[in-house]
Amino acid sequence: MLKVTGTLVWYYFICKRQVWLMAHEINPFQDDPFLEIGRFLHAESYAREKKEVEIDGMKFDIIKNKDGKLIVAEIKKSSRFLESATMQLCFYLYRLQKMGINAVGEILVPQEKKKYSVILNQEIILKIEDAIREIKEIMHYPKPPEKRKIHFCTHCAYAEFCFA
């Protein structure tokens, strides 16, 4: 049974074809420099504060308790894909809420010295539930959705696969 993950939610808000490719474990080229930068930033930034925690398959970069409030933080390399990053974090907050854990989110962008607050509300919950439903549908398509040239393609590790 294919499982909806936070990573798939991130891709869903960028490119639905990528959701299918990821879900079917068609791995992108591992020497893609964009991925390398991401890995480096992930490893180096916030190294002292970083407390990676895994709950029920969800991996959080940082979990902290501030003034009695649980904060779940994700580290991103850029705020260019903020909608995707926000919805990915909302997906985690939604799943935590289903487990009886109320938390708020933060997106940290060390390279830009930026921090964005993420709070779950009813409108976002409906958007997440729609996304989960459609991701499940996409995953069960017999073949990937058609490629569609978008701005993200130039940064996408599947670019060669799609457009070579």
Binding site residues, ligand SF4, CB under 6 A:
15, 17-18, 21, 147-148, 150, 152-153, 156, 158-159, 162
Measured from the CB atom, the residue of 46 and 152 that comes closer to ligand SF4 is: 152
CB of 101 to ligand SF4, least distance (A): 33
Give min distance, CB of 156 to ligand SF4, in A. Answer: 3
Within 13 Å of residue 128, how many CA atoms lie on the same side as its CB? 23
Short-list 10, 15, 54, 27, CA closest to 146: 15
Toward ligand SF4, which CB reaches closer, 51 or 163? 163
> Nearest distance from residue 13's CB to ligand SF4, in Å?
12
C-alpha span between 9 and 164 (Å, rounded) = 26
Closest CA to 110 of 38, 7, 58: 38
Give the closest residue to 104 by CA, choosing from 53, 50, 67.
67
Distances, alpha carbon 25 to alpha carbons 8, 28, 29, 82, 116, in Å: 11, 9, 12, 25, 31
Min dist CB 25 to ligand SF4, Å, is: 14
Residue 21 or residue 96: which is nearer to ligand SF4 going by CB?
21
Nearer to ligand SF4, 18 or 84 (CB): 18
Residue least distant from ligand SF4 (Cβ): 156
Residue linked to tokens 């930068």 = 37
